[in-house]
């Protein structure tokens, strides 16, 4: 998968940008097999986390765009000079011994297309933007004829309000016939004809008015009203979300702000990368398809469709996997592509936690650039945790963050440092808010103001590093075969292999544990290596429970190797590096012609398609073909050299 594999390299031109409206809203033990998709741990946000996000309000647009770092290729390249390489992430081995070649991954975010594979094994596609027709709602459409007629001026005012041309205002419609029945019909008429608007009744100077306001406007917070929900309709609206250059959590936060609901009313089966075009199924509690479809008018880089009502939400880990379409640009080999790429269909690859994932933790949480520094939480060393987030550090960084860190180093005053941040929703801002509120003697509580997902990224990054390191040691010691003392899963339970069992199995059956209190370890020398590695970090492998429950590591099991399926590939040529080479769902909906590939051209690319099960990374499959470092650091350097 590609969840949380953030590869942000310079974009030439032609990529869409987020619209201003969006930016402003913003022996045996029972196995705990990873419940991840695209490589991300299955983490649930608590309601407290959602409240923290909602309470942070709307930020300055320029500051938000600056934080995202889009369009600042040189600055990003500078930041990546001190980024993680694959060796830093504990990745050392390849499965095959063929000679690889060079190529640039994710030169444009549109070069990486991810389609979720749903519970039934079907690839999720966005191919229908229409709203489902329901008999009960059809009767509501007919009701406006029986109620007070809206004037042309009122219709225009409501239309402007719906399209955010008057987002902070409202439209007041005087009630001509003061009866509850007539008012109810007028309420329904406005909300039916103008999805996204809410209404309430107000009395002004002895007269009653129906006041319409936008559900994404500040007025909605003053007097929220519950939307009526038909009894014969499922409580959850399921839809397909198409998004460009946004990860799943960012997308959910944007949708929740426009709909004025908490993010925890949304559910999904897995998280997807930011630097990609991704298509996945989402479910939301008691939000109508009409309101969701209205967002297609307001948001750039998003499309919502394939609406249906169901009685159940989605759960993390329910997906069957992901289907990837990947373009590697500027490939530099004249060798037979069939020999190199077709082996992807026949040979397995390691399921490493990619350096991109571990680097994403550093980018999202902005700790020191190595996952080992995340061990401070597990060591209960909260002063070090605070310092790692707030202290000045080498390497390029956003100017306001540099000023914030310098102020903190000089004064140790959280309120003074917080004033240097135009964007308070970043990790530094959230921790400083906590320190200002609870004091520097209560760092644990202050740290808890950071959303739970981000906090858990720290310790999961450390787990991932340990897993990568121990798999490298295991392959170095025993090669690519099952041996006595390895682990496999039997009916969801971890089992230690005997010598006889190892003879009958292959490396594809072998799993390795992420460290935790609910796993067992290999009984050969690699098992001892786990203990030694954790002991070197002052951690007790027999006591992985933490004083703070959230940071207790249960552990999980992960297969060492997997084999992709549905592999297809082709060599394509092109002259213009700005032309997209992938045909997206939105391109099809808009009847755009598919890309035309040249037989000969100035540049050459390799286009690959393949499917992977949950909790595996596409970049690690590509790494096995390229035989090169696919880390964000190396790919950025390749792209920078080419641009220069």
Q: Tell me phi and psi for residue 624, to 5 degrees.
A: -65, -30
Q: Which tokens hold the place of 209? A: 């008015």
Residues linked to residue 349 through DSSP beta bridges, in sequence order = 562
Rounded CA separation 270/115 (Å): 11
CB neighbour burial string for 104-132, b if at least 16 within 10 angstroms, e if fewer: bbbbbbbbbbbbbbbeeeeebbbeeeebe
- Indicate the SS3 state at residue 173: strand
Q: Which residues are catalytic?
A: 273
Rounded CA separation 339/341 (Å): 6
Please report, for residues 1, 320, 357, the alpha-carbon distance to residue 38 in angstroms, rounded to integers and kept in the order given: 3, 11, 10
Q: Which of 505, 465, 462, 466 is nearest to 483 (CA)?
A: 505
Compute the C-alpha angle 457/59/19, nearest 5°: 90
Q: Which of 50, 636, 79, 6 is nearest to 399 (CA)?
A: 79
CB neighbour list of residue 100: distance below 8 Å, 6 or more residues apart = 340, 625, 626, 627, 628
Q: Which tokens hold the place of 194? A: 């103008």
Chain-centroid distance, C-alpha 34? 17
Residue 505 burial by Cβ neighbours in a 10 Å radius (0-12, 13-18, 19+): middle
Q: Which of 113, 83, 87, 120 is nearest to 9 (CA)?
A: 83
Dihedral, CA atoms, 628, 630, 632, 638, nearest 10 degrees? 50
Residue 35 burial by Cβ neighbours in a 10 Å radius (0-12, 13-18, 19+): middle
Q: Tell me phi and psi for residue 351, to 5 degrees.
A: -100, 45
Within a 13 Å sphere around the CA of 284, how many CA atoms are in the beta-carbon half? Answer: 22
- Indicate the SS3 state at residue 242: strand
């Amino acid at each position: 998968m590609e969840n949380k594999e953030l590869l942000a390299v310079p974009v030439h031109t032609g990529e869409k940008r987020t619209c201003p409206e969006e930016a402003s809203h913003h022996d045996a033990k029972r196995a705990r097999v990873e419940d991840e998709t695209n490589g991300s741990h299955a983490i649930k946000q608590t309601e407290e986390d959602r409240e923290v996000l909602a309470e942070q309000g709307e930020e300055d647009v320029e500051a938000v765009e600056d934080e995202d770092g889009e369009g600042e290729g040189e600055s990003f390249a500078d930041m990546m000079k001190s980024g993680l390489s694959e060796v830093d992430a504990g990745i050392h081995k390849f499965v095959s011994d063929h000679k690889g070649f060079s190529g640039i991954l994710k030169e444009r975010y549109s070069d990486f297309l991810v389609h979720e594979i749903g519970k039934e094994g079907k690839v999720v596609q966005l191919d229908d933007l229409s709203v489902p027709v329901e008999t009960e709602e059809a009767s509501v459409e007919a009701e406006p004829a029986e109620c007070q007629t809206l004037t042309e001026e009122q219709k225009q005012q409501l239309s402007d309000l719906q399209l955010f041309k008057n987002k902070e205002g409202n439209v007041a419609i005087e009630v001509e016939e003061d009866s509850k029945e007539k008012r109810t019909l007028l309420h329904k008429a406005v909300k039916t004809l103008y999805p996204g608007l809410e209404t309430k009744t107000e009395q002004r100077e002895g007269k009653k008015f129906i006041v319409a306001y936008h559900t994404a406007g500040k007025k909605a917070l003053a007097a929220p009203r519950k939307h009526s929900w038909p009894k014969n309709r499922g409580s959850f609206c399921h839809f397909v979300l198409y998004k460009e250059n946004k990860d799943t959590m960012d997308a959910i936060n944007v949708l929740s702000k426009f709909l004025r609901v908490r993010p925890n009313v949304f559910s999904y089966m897995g998280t997807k990368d930011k630097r990609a075009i991704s298509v996945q199924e989402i479910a939301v509690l008691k939000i109508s398809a009409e309101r969701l479809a209205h967002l297609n008018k307001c948001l750039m880089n998003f499309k919502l469709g394939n609406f249906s009502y169901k009685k159940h939400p989605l759960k993390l880990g329910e997906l069957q996997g992901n289907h990837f379409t990947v373009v590697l640009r500027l490939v530099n080999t004249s060798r037979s592509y069939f020999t190199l790429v077709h082996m992807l269909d026949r040979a397995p690859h390691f399921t490493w936690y990619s350096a991109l994932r571990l680097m994403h933790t550093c980018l999202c949480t902005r700790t020191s650039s190595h996952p080992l520094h995340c061990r401070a939480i597990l060591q209960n060393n909260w002063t070090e945790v605070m310092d790692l987030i707030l202290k000045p550090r080498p390497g390029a960084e956003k100017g306001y963050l540099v000023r914030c860190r310098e102020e903190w180093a000089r004064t140790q005053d959280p309120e003074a440092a917080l004033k240097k941040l135009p964007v308070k929703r970043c990790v530094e801002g959230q921790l400083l808010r906590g320190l200002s509120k609870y004091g520097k003697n209560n760092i644990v509580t202050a740290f808890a103001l950071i959303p739970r997902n981000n906090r858990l990224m720290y310790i999961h990054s450390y787990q991932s590093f340990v897993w990568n390191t121990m798999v490298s040691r295991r392959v170095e010691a025993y090669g690519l075969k099952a041996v006595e003392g390895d682990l496999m899963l039997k009916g969801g339970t971890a089992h230690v292999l005997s010598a006889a069992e190892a003879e009958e199995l292959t490396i594809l059956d072998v799993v390795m544990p992420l460290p935790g209190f609910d796993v067992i370890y290999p009984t050969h020398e690699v098992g001892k290596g786990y203990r030694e590695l954790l002991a070197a970090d002052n951690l007790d492998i027999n006591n992985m429970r933490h004083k703070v429950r959230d940071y207790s590591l249960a552990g999980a099991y992960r297969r060492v190797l997997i084999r992709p399926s549905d592999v297809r590939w082709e060599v394509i040529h092109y002259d213009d590096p700005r032309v997209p080479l992938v045909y997206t769902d939105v391109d099809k909906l808009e009847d755009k012609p598919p890309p035309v590939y040249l037989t000969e051209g100035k540049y050459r690319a390799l286009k690959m398609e393949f499917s992977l099960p949950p909790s595996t990374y596409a970049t690690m499959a590509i790494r096995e073909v390229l035989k090169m470092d696919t880390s964000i650091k190396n790919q950025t350097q390749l792209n920078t050299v080419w641009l220069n």
